[in-house]
Structure 1
């Protein structure tokens, strides 16, 4: 793979041309109390202890779709780093999500709702699951999470074909004919992060997949401002040039992963370019204009880039967003699981950066490389 790295950087350069952590904050008790408060609300109003699943609406009866379930699982994983009560919740929830797991096909994956073998799977939904399961594995060392992450990633990359020059579709039946950043960006990151737990030749295989997806996404869907467009219509070639926080956030994290593995400054420079350009997503109150179900992923990217570079504006931007979201929640809870889970996730991420356990977890995670 070493010989391929200059080629990858050169390819991306041509396309573009055509931290250490700070000491724990005095605010740590406040953020930890807020995170616990939001999680308690979720457990009371959304958690069905009997099934192990979370409902889509407060005090509702219908389980959440897999996208929102994945967001909630990431919140539970983060909570479990700080409160052992959530370790058993995490295991039960993971097992309960087997209800969505479609085994009646050649390459299994998660259906959006509890499966009847309907072949209605979304590649982006599944890509998010890869990332949260890998974090669960990294945290617990339990092989069940690593095994399922790899199984899901095999499904995600099966969504690639050569139409429009490559890329992964949004939906397995090609609904909308779109290949979206929201599928390709987390797919690439899943490849890079899975490779860290593998030995060659598997590590090389997954890194190569991630590089291929990254190159296509940059070539096809990056705007002149550094941020990423939403999708390309494979049939017409038309590009939806709308830009959303979560699309650019995941590509930013891919550039960080490439820098960590290769040491090439080009990738860190590109991550910084995307990070600065993300200021355009801010509203007048300093909070990202996108709904929290998308913008919490930009907060996560801000914190990762801050850990990498120590640039304080990233940390302050993240805190401003989380505290703005929490203040809005105090006035009126969101009422839908994906938004509630997004708030819980970003609050626990702040707690991570303000506590020894959280800082140690990310220090180890950020520097991990293939075995």
Structure 2
């Protein structure tokens, strides 16, 4: 795997409180990001260990969350985080299987010609590479996003009427919301930059959303986890990240097409997401590895609708996960990366440069 220089990120200390004052979110995000760098970064590989035990490198899905974290950090503190982000992008080549017929990211570091690629893992990377491209306009990120999305879309077939499989070898025999939701978001984000392919990408996003709605959406607007292709059985169980990415896909379709039905559906999912809240605390019940995606969806929907409950719900959850992190710091990398990512995004929601970035990122020039 690629060797990179060790990059030291300063650890910023902070006092745990119940609610952050404006502009404190970035300080807290730096604190958590510094903790990750100190405790999980592997200088030899350039990527991150799964736990503080340093017994193995983390899987690529979890690496994608850390990449999203550094992408947000590089917007707010470019002098500090731009070089680590660039080095990390290069180091992730250790997971890239360029020898496969349709290249993509393997779950674990690979020598090539592997067969353990998950379509959802790759879809998460498409989304964060495109955000990184919006952040620094490095064409390598756009190129890799395009290459990776080609792998993601290769997972679509017409069994049970369509849908993208979870795994390239059809492990578990299912087509999952967690693969289809982010695949649709990736299509719509890529369409902003690949103008020649934009009509086809928008149409594919329509098809993915329509299939996922018909196959996995419950009557309340939220989404079940997966469908068994051989039997048609729906594996029940609603997780925040599934509904969050379908909310974002509907918002993306609204921006790309101007069709108000997609905005109405995004709003319906957003309102239905109260189901995920603990009635006593008002906090998302899911583990942060899932719920931080719903926080991100809350902020995106808030930018589109200005409905105060969305910002309040996101802020309440971000404050709580930071407070819990201070009280009981997790020993896995991904949990801290999710928390840091949410903190950076909350910081941007309260600053003019952050708001300006997302106003531009949310635009779709038709």
TM-score by length of 2: 0.92
Q: Is this contact kept in 2: 1:181–1:229, CA < 8 A? A: yes
Residue 70 of structure 1 aligns to a residue in which SS?
Answer: helix
Structure 1 match to 2:100: 105
Separation (CA, whole Å) in 1 of partners of 2:350 and 2:124: 25
Alpha-carbon offset, residue 48 of structure 1? 2.1
Structure 2 match to 1:148: 144
Q: Give the 5 Å matches for 1:1-371.
A: 27-58=21-52, 60-84=54-78, 85-116=80-111, 117-200=113-196, 202-283=197-278, 284-369=280-365
Separation (CA, whole Å) in 2 of partners of 1:366 and 1:70: 21
Separation (CA, whole Å) in 1 of partners of 2:53 and 2:340: 18
- Listed as ranges, the gaps of 5+ residues in structure 1 are 1-24
Alpha-carbon offset, residue 92 of structure 1? 0.4
Separation (CA, whole Å) in 1 of partners of 2:302 and 2:194: 27
Alpha-carbon offset, residue 368 of structure 1? 3.0
Alpha-carbon offset, residue 45 of structure 1? 0.7
Equivalenced residues, count = 345
Alpha-carbon offset, residue 263 of structure 1? 1.8
Q: Is this contact kept in 2: 1:81–1:357, CA < 8 A? A: no
Separation (CA, whole Å) in 1 of partners of 2:302 and 2:106: 35
Alpha-carbon offset, residue 128 of structure 1? 0.2
TM-score by length of 1: 0.91
Structure 1 match to 2:15: none
Q: Is this contact kept in 1: 2:188–2:256, CA < 8 A? A: no
Structure 2 match to 1:7: none
Separation (CA, whole Å) in 2 of partners of 1:177 and 1:59: 33
Once superposed, what is the RMSD of the aligned Cα atoms? 1.3
Separation (CA, whole Å) in 1 of partners of 2:23 and 2:214: 44
Q: Is this contact kept in 1: 2:23–2:351, CA < 8 A? A: no
Alpha-carbon offset, residue 51 of structure 1? 2.4
Residue deviations 1:99-146 (CA, integer Å, cap 9, x gap): 000112110000010013330110000000000000000111110000
Q: Is this contact kept in 2: 1:214–1:254, CA < 8 A? A: yes
Residue deviations 1:6-50 (CA, integer Å, cap 9, x gap): xxxxxxxxxxxxxxxxxxx98223212111111111111111234
Residue 225 of structure 1 aligns to a residue in which SS?
Answer: coil
